[in-house]
Amino acid sequence: MLTPRDDLYPSRFGKNTQYLPRQDPVIHGDSAQRAGTGLSAEQLADFEKNGFLILDAVFTESEVAALRSESSELLTDVTTKNLKEVICEPNSGAVRSVFRAHKLSQPIEKVTNDHRLTRIAQGLLGDAVYIHQTRVNFKPGFKGTEFYWHSDFETWHVEDGMPRMRALSMSITLTENHADNGPLLLIPGSHKTFVTCTGETPDNHHEKSLRKQQFGVPSDEAVSHLIETNGIARAECKAGSVIVFDCNTVHGSNSNITPDPRANIFVVYNAMANAVIDPFCTQPPRPEHVCTRESIVQVQTQTHG
């Protein structure tokens, strides 16, 4: 039997779900760093309590239009080149995600350095940050399928070796995310508990999990328990918004059977002090385009808007 090394958040070891209390703060920054985020006291309190925050109209209409056309050019470009960064839908073959988007597209890299985002990431995480992962998630009309309920941190900890809960995601909406086109669903308050998962990580798990995740997802009982306790929040917002969510907030989204596409740029910031180490499972680390490991560099903030 495998014994977990010094592991604050052991998962995929036992047969039963465990509910372990979070061992890390939700907001890591001191008062000066919190002030540096530009968020109000109420927004900071909401993030601490719920594990997410929706910021409206962060990007202007023209910035969003430029990013949307950049993303569709990127889509055409990567599809013709058949790159490993491209993840397709399991059945239709439509493109679901393009990973390492900040290295494949300069305008997307510029967004990841934008002070409107980085000052929030740095202040909440209380440190300089680097990019753990980026992707554009396309959820095309009729064809986009769901993302099952999960905590990102569970995967990043077990498969990538992210030691502590000191990372967050930002989803930048390139289209409206309305009630019916598969918006992000979050369980408020779920970030305060680490829900362990069962089943050992299979070989080359990412090749399947990025299309349809079946390991590293909480049990039906655990999801029922979390939803009974906390309910579900739906991140409905216009294009140009930013959904900020903690690395351990349980979330997912439904399929998109409407004609309206949903496209979001997804950026994961991790504290420099929380850089990945060896995975907390017996599998080799996931590749660089899914998890930054070889090229960890501090984000240099730029002021654009």
Pick the piece of the chain touching Fe ion (CB under 5 A) from 11-19, 76-84, 136-144, 145-153. Answer: 145-153
Q: Does the protein bind ligand 6CS through residue 150 (CB under 6 A)?
A: yes
Given the structure tokens 């703060």, which residue do they identify?
Answer: 25
CB 177 within 8 A of CB 251: no
Given the structure tokens 């369980």, which residue do they identify?
Answer: 187
Q: Which does 181 bind (CB under 5 to 8 A by kind): ligand 6CS, Fe ion, none?
A: none
| Least distance from ligand 6CS to the Cβ atom of residue 226, Å | 16
Q: Which of residues 193-212 bind ligand 6CS (CB under 6 A)?
A: 209-210
CB 135 within 8 A of CB 99: yes
| Least distance from ligand 6CS to the Cβ atom of residue 169, Å | 8
Pick the piece of the chain touching ligand 6CS (CB under 6 A) from 146-154, 181-189, 270-278, 293-301. Answer: 146-154
Q: Does the protein bind ligand 6CS through residue 270 (CB under 6 A)?
A: no
CB 229 within 8 A of CB 283: no
Q: What are phi and psi of 55, to 5 degrees?
A: -110, 120
Residue 270 host element (H or E): strand 262-271
CB 217 within 8 A of CB 155: no
Q: Does the protein bind ligand 6CS through residue 213 (CB under 6 A)?
A: yes
CB 215 within 8 A of CB 205: yes
| Least distance from ligand 6CS to the Cβ atom of residue 222, Å | 16
Whole-angstrom Cα distance, residue 51 to residue 68? Answer: 27
Nearest to 119 by CA among 297, 301, 270, 305: 301
Site string for Fe ion, 235-274 (x = CB under 5 A): ----------------------------------------
The residues binding ligand 6CS (CB under 6 A) are 133, 147, 150, 152, 155, 209-210, 213
Q: Which residues of this protein are in contact with Fe ion, per CB under 5 A? A: 152
